[in-house]
Amino acid sequence: MRSTAAVFFIVFIMVCSACSDTELASMDQLARGAQLYEKYCANCHQKDGSGLASLMPPLKNSDYLKANKKSLPCIIHKGISGNIIVNNKMFNLAMPANKSLSNQEIANIATYVYQKFLDETHYFTDSLIWVEMKECGK
C-alpha cells in the first residue's frame, strides 16, 4: 500500500515538473480566455466560433485571423466596422468596442481564440500586448 502511494507521489512530481512556469501560465491564460470569450464574444461568434450565417464572421478556421495575427487585440479593443471578407464571404455588421477590457484580458481572449479556433499556439504575452495596444491607441 505504502509503495503504491510512493509511486503515485513520484508520478505526481514528474507530471508537475513536466510543466514549466511558462506553460502553467499559458494554461491559466487559456482558461481565463475561455471564460472571457463566453462572456464577451460567444453571443455573436457563437461558442464554437462558427459565427452566424452571413451576419457574424466565423473565427473557426478564419483566413482573416490567420493572415492578420497582430490585429485581433486591437479589433477586440476598438471594434470594427465596414466590409470584411472572411473565408470568401463578405460581412458588414459593425462589431462594438470593448473598452472595459484590460490589456491582460484582451491577451487572454486572443490567445484562447487562436488556440481553440485556429489550432495555433500564438501567445499574446504581456509585453507583446502592451506594444500592440499602444499602436492601437490604448
Partner 1 sequence: MKLINISLGLVLTMTILSCNENRKLPILGERVAEEKVVDGKTIVDTIYQSIPPFSFLNQDGVNITNASLKGNIYVADFFFITCPTICPIMKREMLRVYEKYKGNPNIILISHTIDPEHDTLALLKDFCTRMGSDGKQWMFLTGEKEKIYEIAEKGYYSTALADSTEPGGFIHSGGFILVDKQQHVRGIYDGTETEEVDQLMKDMDILLKEE
- By the criterion CB under 8 A, which residues form the site for partner 1? 43-44, 46, 52-56, 92-94, 96
- CA 115 centroid distance within chain: 7
Compute the least distance from the CB of residue 91 to partner 1, in Å: 8
The amino acid that residue 44 corresponds to is C
- The DSSP secondary-structure symbol of 122 reads -
Instruction: Output 68 or 81, the one with its CB closest to partner 1.
Output: 81
Compute the least distance from the CB of residue 108 to partner 1, in Å: 20
Q: Count CB atoms within 10 A of the CB of residue 41.
A: 21
Compute the least distance from the CB of residue 54 to partner 1, in Å: 4
* CA angle 50–105–101, rounded 5-degree value: 95
Instruction: Output 5 or 53, the one with its CB closest to partner 1.
Output: 53
